[in-house]
Structure 1
């Protein structure tokens, strides 16, 4: 099974990759299209030079690598905002596609700390909703799961997610060793400090952050896309208690 997990930044996506990566039957690939995305957009993200060097020049090469036969399951951590014109999508038909969502206020408040000039395109909510529609057009019924629900009840929600994927649940998904992982992207030193310090999912989140100015505008613009996805998410009420 090839699992394509689609999210925006600051969305529990790395913790989810570590969760699946701690299974003995799973290999992980961290943001495979990041290098081609930066080459196409010429954006100056943190560590842009290192990121481009660490990934194949061609997005087609990346796609072909994702389609290679794997002796076990594979987990692809994708950023929705990377899927611009010039990035192929044919591989999505060969994957089980899952969409990981998080409230825009939390995403914006977290992301702008590391990238103050962030735009709506950088946080990827519109792209996520469009990709969801694309997967539906392939004849799939994609899975949607909310990061807040996972943090509220990690075991219960992961059991539900595994059931939706027709994948046996593994207790190893609840914890992982602290520190960098061999499948981390080269950008990990800039973005992954907090998750490197973790050994499992953080507890429930507190109140929504209070935003002002451009940050508030970004979150407001993203809300309709988030609400569209949230209406389709796995129900936390159906999750067994941890």
Structure 2
């Protein structure tokens, strides 16, 4: 699953991770991105110390058989740095989780004020989508966060069908609190989803963004709209 941050990506991981036939992996390339891009993030040193940051070893694990039939990989698109071979992605079953950039930025800046277009992954998401679509000869599955929150059962059913797996009722709820597959960064970012036991109601329309954030949203909008036309 390819998304940027603050896209209910963790709730989606919890949804799939609650399936008895699924093993989940939280942001495999986070430490790699911190090491090779050098950006400053909360808990940066702890993440690098705890997680693998070697590209080849990460790719090998992403493409290897998992212990259960469904291997859910929660990928952040901006972790796929340019200059590194992304061709291995074609061997996965890929889906794309999108969200309006205004909503992403409103949520992101509640946790971390320093944000650029690159930090929210819209450009990289479109690049990966185009690569996968070219390989398949058709658009891969796309789901919009709003649709999941409005009707999780129907949207997840369509997503599972598109990915070639059966829908499971266990995907509609999960236990509250930390999960064994959470990344070490969870204490900073996951407090809201730890308090949840299911997908919440859609949030209200976000307030107008400050000018510097609206500029980023305007830059991200064409990439969002390009994928949105293919949503399930």
Q: How does 1:97-176 map to 2 (within 5 A)?
A: 97-139=94-136, 141-176=139-174
Structure 2 length as normaliser, TM-score? 0.96
Residue aligning to 1:181: 179
Moved segments of 4+, more than 6 Å: none
The aligned residue for residue 229 of structure 1 is 227
| C-alpha distance in 2 between matches for 1:21 and 1:230 | 25
Q: Are the equivalent residues in 1 in contact too, given 2:106–2:206 (CA < 8 A)? A: no
Distance, in Å, in 2 between the alignment partners of 1:87 and 1:58 is 12
Alignment counterpart, residue 78 of structure 1, candidates 75, 78, 82: 75
**What's 2:8 paired with?**
12
| Superposed CA RMSD | 1.2
What is the deviation of 1:134? 1.1
The farther-off stretch of 5-14 and 215-224 is: 215-224
With the length of structure 1 as denominator, give the TM-score of the two structures.
0.92
Distance 1:88 1:73 in 2: 25
The structural deviation recorded for 1:232 is 0.9
Choose which of 29, 33, 40 in structure 2 pairs with 1:37.
33
Distance 1:189 1:30 in 2: 14
The structural deviation recorded for 1:188 is 0.2
2:95 match: secondary structure: strand
Q: Which 5+ residue runs of structure 1 have no aligned equivalent?
A: 235-242
* 2:29–2:58 Cα contact (<8 Å) kept: yes
Instruction: Verify the 8 A CA contact 2:141 2:231 in the aligned structure 1.
Output: yes
Which among 193, 197, 200 is matched to residue 199 of structure 1?
A: 197
Query: Which 5+ residue runs of structure 2 have no aligned equivalent?
Result: none
Contact 2:6 2:108 in 1 (8 A): yes
Aligned residues: 230
User: Paired residue for 2:48?
Assistant: 52
Deviates more, 1:15-24 or 1:55-64: 55-64
Q: For 1:18 and 1:153, how far apart are their aligned partners in 2? A: 17
